[in-house]
Amino acid sequence: MRQTLDGLAKRPDASPRALQGRHYVDQAYFAFEKQTVLQNGWHCVGRADELPNIGDYRALRLLDEPIILVRTENGIVALSNLCRHRGMPLAEGSGNTKLFVCSYHAWSYRINGTLQRAPRMENAGFDPKTCALPSFACTERFGFIYVSLSETPPDLDQDLAGLHEGLQPYDPAAYRVVHSAEEIWNTNWKSLVENFMEGYHLSVVHPITLHGYTPTELSKKGPSGPGYTSYTAHYPDHIPPRGRGAEGLSEAQKHASYLFAVFPCQVVSISPSLLVSLNLMPVSAGRVDVRWTMSVYGDDLDGETIKDRIALWSEVNREDREKLERMQSALRSRHATGGPLAGPDYEGTVRDFLNWLARQDRLYL
């Protein structure tokens, strides 16, 4: 299977091909991905404005790790959501707190992870300083929160070199979350990344929801880098700008949506007034948990328009999910050998993603 990835990466640009079906259904291969590209990569886990106040927290699971995101005086951190005594989860859901108190034996932890109190622990040699909650690498870019489970995560700025320039005119950190939803998609995580990041399917799969605004024929491949790819979905001439957006936007940017993927598991669409991010949490070869957020720039959109956009994107996601789940059910076929890809403007982003997978694969040989 590794030879297949390497072979795809070495194919001439004029004849790219898709990945074979077994890469999407084989559980042993997923276990390899989990221990390599997924464990070591940066994962988007939300927006910074979802935790605006000191003590705001949200519990989540990333691969096999239960995590607490919490805003401290020094910014947002990612702590292990496991009591250091016997392993009981400390928090669930979201809220605001000064202490995380274990519901099992009442050990309590400050929001920076240090142990505040452990009742009746007068044992000789017990040292509270050795019982702080472990933390994970956590950083913010573009208003997003990224977490890596690796002790030596890749250089995110190096991986996203070039994406900063493409996003800067939008002022992405200024967008504010107005909606979030969690869904289970019975498909492979790679299929979802590929689907979101290609314009080839837009007019076919989304004839009512998207074709009128972003028809396939107006898709244009954008820049790519060591850890990302992008494309622009241009609007037809008769479609007006969808909101004012930031002052730095050009007229061309006001008449298009910019879509990008931060590998391995985040896909995003940003336009002058709207930012939609799908954060993927792979569970198995055939399941990925999706948390998607919708954010709005300033007061560009009123309440009714926001409701309409939420309904629109919910339907777009439903349409994509239905197609991907049907495809997943067939990819075990001996004939799922990976067909030819369309040209750069339509599926060049898929080629970028497969090349990235091949590079990661070589890192862990």
3-state class (DSSP) for residue 218: helix
Distance of alpha carbon 208 from alpha carbon 200, whole angstroms: 15
Which pLDDT does position 9 carry in this prediction?
A: 74
State CA 309 to chain mean position distance. Answer: 20
**Strand 175-185 relative to strand 287-297, pairing:** antiparallel
The torsion angle over the Cα atoms of residues 89, 93, 99 and 102, rounded to 10 degrees, is -30
Q: What's the predicted TM-score (pTM) here?
A: 0.95
CA gap 258, 166 in Å, rounded: 9
- The predicted pLDDT at position 6 comes to 74
Helix ranges, 98-188 (H): 156-159, 163-167
Q: Where in the chain is the domain with CATH 2.102.10.10?
A: 45-148
Instruction: Note the pLDDT of residue 1.
Output: 59
pLDDT in the model for residue 10: 78
* Separation of alpha carbons 168 and 157, rounded Å: 14
Q: What is the DSSP letter of 242?
A: S
Residues 262-301, buried b or exposed e (16+ Cβ, 10 A)? bbbbbbbbbbbbbbbbbbbbbbebbbbbbbbbbbbbeebb
- Using DSSP's 3-state secondary structure scheme, residue 33 falls into helix
Hunting for tokens 């956590």 — which residue is that? 138
What was the pLDDT predicted at 365?
62
Nearest to 140 by CA among 16, 51, 256, 227: 51
Domain 2-41+157-363 has CATH 3.40.50.2300: no
What's the rounded Cα separation, in Å, for the pair 184 and 175?
A: 26
174: its two tokens = 């200024």
Give residue 242's pLDDT. 77
The CATH number of 45-148 is 2.102.10.10
The answer to whether the CB of 132 falls within 8 A of the CB of 84 is yes
Question: What's the Rg (C-alpha) of the chain?
Answer: 22
- Percentages helix, strand, coil for the chain (3-state, rounded to 5) are 30, 30, 40
Q: How far apart are CA 305 and CA 322, in angstroms?
A: 26
What's the CA gap between 115 and 131, in Å, rounded?
A: 6
Residues of the chain with pLDDT under 70: 1-3, 365
Cβ-based neighbours of 33, under 8 Å, separated by 6 or more? 282
Query: Which residues of the chain are in CATH 3.90.380.10 domains?
Result: 2-41+157-363
Residue labelled with tokens 């339509």 = 346
